[in-house]
Amino acid sequence: MSAYVLQSADAAVSEWMTTLGEKAVARDPGTLDKYARTTQAEATRPCCILYPETTEDVQAIVEIASDHGVPVYPISCGKNWGYGDACAPSGGAAILDLGRMNRILEVNRELAYCVVEPGVTQGQLFDYLQDNDTGLWMDASAAGPDSSLVGNTVERGFGHTRYGDHFRNCCGMEIVLADGRVLNTGFGHFPNAKATHVYPYGVGPYLDGLFTQSNYGIVTKMGLWLMPEPEAFNFFFFQAPRFEDLEELVDRIRPLRMAGTLDTAIHIGNDFRVLAGSGKYPWDLAKGVVPLPPELRQQLREQSGAQAWQGSGSITGTKARVRAARKALRKALRGCASRLVFLDDRKIRSLEWTCTALNAVGLGKKLARAMKILRPNYDLLKGVPTIEAVMGTYWRLRKPPDVPGELLDSGCGLYWVSPVIPMKGSEAIALLNLAEPIFEEHGFDMLVSLNLLTERCLVGVFNVTFDKSLPGEAERASACYEALVDAMMARGYNLYRAGLQGMPKMREEPSVFWEVAAEIKRALDPKDIISRGRYNPPLQDRPR
Amino acid sequence: MSAYVLQSADAAVSEWMTTLGEKAVARDPGTLDKYARTTQAEATRPCCILYPETTEDVQAIVEIASDHGVPVYPISCGKNWGYGDACAPSGGAAILDLGRMNRILEVNRELAYCVVEPGVTQGQLFDYLQDNDTGLWMDASAAGPDSSLVGNTVERGFGHTRYGDHFRNCCGMEIVLADGRVLNTGFGHFPNAKATHVYPYGVGPYLDGLFTQSNYGIVTKMGLWLMPEPEAFNFFFFQAPRFEDLEELVDRIRPLRMAGTLDTAIHIGNDFRVLAGSGKYPWDLAKGVVPLPPELRQQLREQSGAQAWQGSGSITGTKARVRAARKALRKALRGCASRLVFLDDRKIRSLEWTCTALNAVGLGKKLARAMKILRPNYDLLKGVPTIEAVMGTYWRLRKPPDVPGELLDSGCGLYWVSPVIPMKGSEAIALLNLAEPIFEEHGFDMLVSLNLLTERCLVGVFNVTFDKSLPGEAERASACYEALVDAMMARGYNLYRAGLQGMPKMREEPSVFWEVAAEIKRALDPKDIISRGRYNPPLQDRPR
């Protein structure tokens, strides 16, 4: 970091303190240390942390940042696990922690939407909807109750229900631009606009997409669509025993997804996903060997009740509709899935009751195991934010924590690799055949799920999970990540989302796309103040 | 037009002729006359017409346009009826008629999408899908078989099926920028990308929305999602007798739409929509009086079988799902709609047969009338492009043509006014109560339909239809349009789309939104070459 940059930062920090008050700025080593952690190989260290409470605060912050040429890096709740977490692409930025902007500004029951600030967490909205008997359900990503709704949406993350594509179900944004102006998208900029949160596009260019996976502005408010509690809800869960069964599973479900018979983001996870649910790599049994030897994998698979593949999704609507979809899915999976079960609230309560009762007399281990797999998935499909998926990332820790907590406290290393492929069984198999040797070669287990996100595509979600405390492991994980991304991109399987390490790879190939992205950046943020280097290429240094 | 502009145009035209060949450029008065027509009050006259056949042609055209500072105005098929048709916002532009770029580049049966050029018409794609037994259905807007798919999509137009929101179902664009560069959106810019047309967002900023209702580039290729022919199809049609019934209709259907039980863009039209279907205002009976006197309206309503409201939509999916939705709709409309019928292919064939048979013996007039209302709606809901809705705009012509043809040949005047409101009965009634006196005051009949486009909003589609040959009528229509838009915007009911006359009204109120739109324009097209003044404000004249 040059002396000039440091000086600018000092001047900016003192101006931020004057303007926002001391409580809104942190610069002590302890706090900086906390923000300089990551699940990836390399963290970056910020120059300070800013805690705005209002849109006006954010405006003041960027104006000062702009005056001093100090980049700011907004995070909503900083839980962008495995994609860079709360870290900026480069050191020396001021982290703009939006966590104190955590107001639920509106919940409209009749039209089923809410308007939230970026600090509102999944858990907070869920509790609000429950506590106030709104009769509304939300969609939750698997990032846990403490993660931000807005943060996930601007990253174009996804969840599990009919509203699983978060960006597709957000409507009307407020955005602070680099010069402090406030942009309202859709109809939001018209006086008295009545349809801002029910119709996304407004009139004139539809700008919202610009503010996802980019750095053109800071989203300070967002409308999100919610679902009225359905008349009926059915969770479904299926399994298939052989690796190659995936091909037929995908091809058989595709027509149901495309016809709208199934309309949630169906997830199909491999056996490692189940095993990792326990959070414990069998270090002793494996005698320290990685990746997991095939015989041991088979043995654990049998013990846990896992099969090669487990899929889950849900059906909602009228009772008759749910019945109809159930019938269609049964027919489609006949002779392909080894198991297909449907659960509703009544059934799952009764199973849990049985489980508890059996447990009391020392029985029912198999059922208990099954419930351990099912319950978190069941909840996610009702939009309940759960922490279990995050726990799955503890898999390769030598000493995983007993209780899931802050991921960064656990020393857990994590890279997500998430390519999009056409929803075809053959492509899914090809993708896995491409990835598996790379995982093995680097000593990692291929944890993967395939998600039928839209009606036509699958998102493969691979994670490279590792223990940051083991010497050399972070480097191996990083190399594995790079090799996976390179191999996938060469094959035309491009990522739907990238972590800090992946972003430069996305723009390696020169293209008009990234040129245009940079030209828009230059128009809206010529000093490259906001989230420098995030997805978009950093602009060349320009003197003030 | 200044002498300088004319000179530039001359120089540009001669360069276009040299580069593209004489057949690709027209400048004769007859052709210019043809393009200088509109359904609105005021047309603009272009300086020439260009007919590119390839993306490379379009690149060459904008490069020359840029060199000479001559604005170009791309049209796909020029059928933007009632929104400015094929006219540029200002005179003197070169019309870029993309009609010769009419290749269907790909139809993927397995993944149910197509890739088309802007000149591909609704009728052309429909025929292709039928003739090749693809088993795929498309969505059609009501603009008729000769209108462009791409044109409608970049205008964010809509149709009638589950894929009625055209922009939401387009995926992967190729765009020529003002400097001749070619931008591929989504994953399209990556080598070998496999998911370009199945996943819309790509990685990094999602840019596609920028190229709708704007002037940042020229879309030369687009992926569009299609629907596999459903196992079962049911058309539904309902009616309600009283104006105020609308409130309950909307409130009762909303929950079904929001739960996904109904998933098409349900249209609810008033009696005038039915009456206008015949294309003939009863000039003699009304003794030349406008708008239609209430008694006469009542009389015609009874004669035609129309009621205050008629709604239509469809249900697709498995047979069981269609049955389930039918049941839910019946229950919802009980005691509210005076009639609810469900039709499938078998039933409609049998009705048509009966109709023909009765007609042969001079009977069945009532049935024939009913079929006249139902058939075009039925077809549209199966994605069949029909011309009847366009015919409805002949309503106020003194001498309507017997056969529907080119709208501009008929002397028909037309303004669409299409506000978006929250999907609430009370808002729908408020909107109509606001609009009706304005229509009457200006001597026009309020033709209106309300479209349940998304799960949360209604788009009101009003048309001011008039006869351009009557002295003073175009001025009255124009004044009526202005008054409607002003009243609606003041109330917070903003338009989802604007015609040339409406565009400046959209940006009257200063806002950061339009500032940002202009800044992006300046970044991508600094000379304001493409579609100057279309939605975005014209940039200030800048010397070359």
Flag whether B70 is in a domain. no
Share of chain A above pLDDT 70, in %: 98
Whether residues B323 and B205 share a domain: the answer is: no
The overall longest dimension of chain A from CA atoms, in Å, is: 74
A183: chain B residues, CB-CB within 8 Å: 512-513, 516
* Other Cβ atoms closer than 10 A to A283: 14
pLDDT of residue B367: 83
Whether residues A383 and A430 share a domain: the answer is: yes
pLDDT of residue A367: 83
A492: chain B residues, CB-CB within 8 Å: 190-195
| End-of-domain residue from the set B228, B255, B273 | B228
- Grouping H, G, I as helix, E, B as strand and the rest as coil, residue B57 is helix
Flag whether B388 is in a domain. yes
- Residues 160-219, chain B, touching A (beta carbon < 8 A): 162, 167-168, 177, 181-185, 187-195, 197-214, 216
pLDDT of residue A355: 83
Distance (Å) of CA B255 to CA A62, A263, B311, B320, B397: 43, 17, 16, 20, 40
Range of the domain at B209: 104-228
Find the CATH number of the domain harbouring B399.
3.40.462.10
DSSP B148: B
Q: How far is A48 from chain B (nearest CA, A)?
A: 27
Flag whether A352 is in a domain. yes
pLDDT of residue B4: 60
- Residues 499-518, chain A, touching B (beta carbon < 8 A): 506-507, 509, 511-517
Flag whether B328 is in a domain. yes
Q: Which helix (H) or strand (E) holds B270?
A: strand B266-270
A490 in reach of chain B (CB within 8 A): yes
Residue indicated by tokens 């990308």: B193
| End-of-domain residue from the set A468, A490, A512 | A490
Whether residues A209 and A238 share a domain: the answer is: no
How many residues in chain A?
Answer: 544
Flag whether B96 is in a domain. no
Quote the CA–CA distance of A74 and A215 in Å, as a whole number: 9
Tokens of B433: 């109560």
A357 in reach of chain B (CB within 8 A): no
CB pairs under 8 A between A and B: 322
Quote the CA–CA distance of B430 and B424 in Å, as a whole number: 10
Pairing of strands B94-97, B48-50: parallel
Tokens of A364: 């029912």
Whether residues B262 and B194 share a domain: the answer is: no
Q: Which helix (H) or strand (E) holds B174?
A: strand B170-176
B105 in reach of chain A (CB within 8 A): no
Q: How far apart are the first and last CA of chain B?
A: 18
Whether residues B269 and B318 share a domain: the answer is: yes
Interchain CB distance below 8 Å, A259 and B497: no
Distance (Å) of CA B351 to CA A494, B316, B326, B345, B488: 52, 21, 20, 10, 42
Q: What residues pair up with A412 in beta bridges, in sequence order?
A: A467
Low-confidence ranges of chain A (pLDDT < 50): 1, 541-544
B467 HSE (CA, 13 A, CB side): 16
Whether residues B240 and B302 share a domain: the answer is: yes
Quote the CA–CA distance of A315 and A234 in Å, as a whole number: 5
For residue B205, give the nearest of A191, A210, A497 by CB distance: A210
Flag whether B286 is in a domain. yes
For B329, name the nearest residue in chain A, comparing CA atoms only.
A318
**∠ CA(B87), CA(B93), CA(B98), 5° rounding?**
65
Whether residues A263 and A215 share a domain: the answer is: no
B177: chain A residues, CB-CB within 8 Å: 512, 516
For residue B110, give the nearest of A216, A259, A424 by CB distance: A424
Q: What residues pair up with B108 in beta bridges, in sequence order?
A: B113
Whether residues A264 and A290 share a domain: the answer is: yes
Interchain CB distance below 8 Å, A189 and B421: no
Residue indicated by tokens 């094929």: B86
Low-confidence ranges of chain B (pLDDT < 50): 1, 541-544
pLDDT of residue B542: 38
Flag whether A368 is in a domain. yes
8 A C-beta contact, residue A63 and residue A10: no
Quote the CA–CA distance of A15 and A493 in Å, as a whole number: 46
For A453, name the nearest residue in chain B, comparing CA atoms only.
B199
Whether residues A221 and A318 share a domain: the answer is: no
pTM of the complete model: 0.96
pLDDT of residue B221: 98
Residue indicated by tokens 């940051």: A468
8 A C-beta contact, residue A81 and residue A414: yes
Whether residues B279 and B420 share a domain: the answer is: yes
- Residues 214-243, chain B, touching A (beta carbon < 8 A): 214, 216, 225, 227-228, 230-231
For residue B421, give the nearest of A195, A231, A318 by CB distance: A195
Pairing of strands A48-50, A94-97: parallel
For A506, name the nearest residue in chain B, comparing CA atoms only.
B203
| End-of-domain residue from the set A202, A228, A254 | A228
How many residues in chain B?
Answer: 544
B422: chain A residues, CB-CB within 8 Å: 111, 194-195, 198
B182: chain A residues, CB-CB within 8 Å: 512
For residue B456, give the nearest of A112, A203, A206 by CB distance: A112
Flag whether B43 is in a domain. no
Radius of gyration of chain A (CA): 23
Q: What residues pair up with A222 in beta bridges, in sequence order?
A: A116, A173
Dump pLDDT digits (tens) for A280-309.
Answer: 899 999 999 999 999 999 999 998 889 999
A65 closest CA partner among A78, A76, A74:
A74
Distance (Å) of CA A536 to CA A3, A95, A506, B401: 26, 18, 9, 56
Dump pLDDT digits (tens) for B114-148.
Answer: 999 999 999 999 999 999 999 999 999 988 899 99
What's the structural domain count of chain A? 2
Distance (Å) of CA A396 to CA A268, A273, A376, A468: 21, 12, 21, 10
Q: How far is A313 from chain B (nearest CA, A)?
A: 16
Dump pLDDT digits (tens) for A18-34.
Answer: 999 999 999 999 999 99
Find the CATH number of the domain harbouring B124.
3.30.465.10
Query: B187-201 burial string, b = 16+ CB within 10 Å, else e?
Result: bbbbeebbbbbbbbb
Dump pLDDT digits (tens) for B92-103.
Answer: 999 999 999 999
Whether residues A158 and A214 share a domain: the answer is: yes
A246 in reach of chain B (CB within 8 A): no
Whether residues A174 and A266 share a domain: the answer is: no
Quote the CA–CA distance of A423 and A454 in Å, as a whole number: 9
Helix and strand counts by DSSP (H, E) for chain A: 16, 19
B516: chain A residues, CB-CB within 8 Å: 177, 183, 207, 524
